[in-house]
Homo-oligomer: A and B are copies of this chain.
């Protein structure tokens, strides 16, 4: 069985179409609403922000994922997050879902919603209901339509984020694709900023949710741009069964294949998201090897990629390894600093900076060259056990300060 990367995103799988529109919610001269639609009801699963402060669309979606077997559409917007908007925010969100449901002739509770942008503003109800109705008429199952949807949900993102894979289950070709957005306020906890994944796989709702909940631990929950967990993080997965594979209803081989395909898409999107962090010039990956437990490995790797001092050193291409060791040290995980080895790697070139807790006589020149790549990896060998984890982040730059010193204007 092989999993093959293909072009496309949310429209790659059978029965899924998408579209976008310019509703002028906040941005001018660009699209700011997107719609993803399944021609038949699809099993729905999702994970959402752990932030105590949850945006209106998050509360709406959590209810659907908990209580409904199926969903059929996801409507998304950029510009305004519809968070901290209390009752009025909930009402506007529902009005938007209802307008779309009527236009598509599906139940209102089959419409998932997602918003991203500034916190504290309510969606302009006229604009979003008009946008919803307009989009119901322009759905298309082309790759381009999926790409346009991915573009419409961008905020400070500099590149659109989508990918898709095909694989085989019970002799049937299955496709799974997704799109996401996220550049700032990215430190997902059980979810990511906004991500929609579509697949034509046949799978029960229970197994779909199981696969999604397990997956995020190694994908979206392992990225961070700025340690700020958003109020709007949402990962929504729709599986419409049109591939006609034998329904996955237990942890069999097909389930494992499905999980691998899902991981390929989510980790690809997670990495694109981390590398496109606000102001970032490079993707910074940290692999922690041979930790005592998986949990230790996760905490250690995330401590490194979230350290402002490590991130600025990566920006400056400075092999200031002391900051990496320091970030491992304050993570809360117990280890023996006297046996740690540390490497950096990029473009197939790797050097050891630290051996048994002490600097090697590495070449600063070579280290700077390795750190100058677009994708830099640090590898810490803890020599405490056999557990491994990988976390993805980005460098901290002048542009991060610039973007966020005045994001609202």
**Which A residues contact B (CB, under 8 angstroms)?**
49-54, 81, 83-86, 118-120, 184-185, 187, 189, 226-231, 306-309, 312-313, 315-316, 318, 320-323, 325-331, 333-335, 337-338, 354, 356-359, 396-398, 400-409
Query: How far does the Cβ of A278 sit from chain B's closest Cβ, in whole Å?
Result: 9
The residue of chain B having its C-beta at the shortest distance from the C-beta of A316 within the complex is B405
Is the pair A308, B52 in contact by a Cβ cutoff of 8 Å? no
Query: How far does the Cβ of A65 sit from chain B's closest Cβ, in whole Å?
Result: 20
| A81 partner residues in chain B, CB cutoff 8 A | 322
Is the pair B325, A228 in contact by a Cβ cutoff of 8 Å? no
Is the pair A229, B330 in contact by a Cβ cutoff of 8 Å? yes
Tell me if A's interface is mostly helix, strand, loop or mixed. loop
Is the pair A323, B52 in contact by a Cβ cutoff of 8 Å? no
| A409 partner residues in chain B, CB cutoff 8 A | 318
Is the pair B120, A228 in contact by a Cβ cutoff of 8 Å? no
Q: Contact partner of A312 among B327, B330, B401, CB < 8 A?
A: B401
Is the pair A84, B327 in contact by a Cβ cutoff of 8 Å? no
A357–B358 Cα distance when bound, in Å, is 50
A152–B308 Cα distance when bound, in Å, is 26
| A312 partner residues in chain B, CB cutoff 8 A | 400-401, 403-405
Is the pair A330, B120 in contact by a Cβ cutoff of 8 Å? no
Query: How far does the Cβ of A134 sit from chain B's closest Cβ, in whole Å?
Result: 28
Given A83-B322, A228-B309, A359-B120, answer yes or no on A330-B50 (Cβ-Cβ < 8 Å): yes
Q: Contact partner of A309 among B185, B306, B316, CB < 8 A?
A: B185
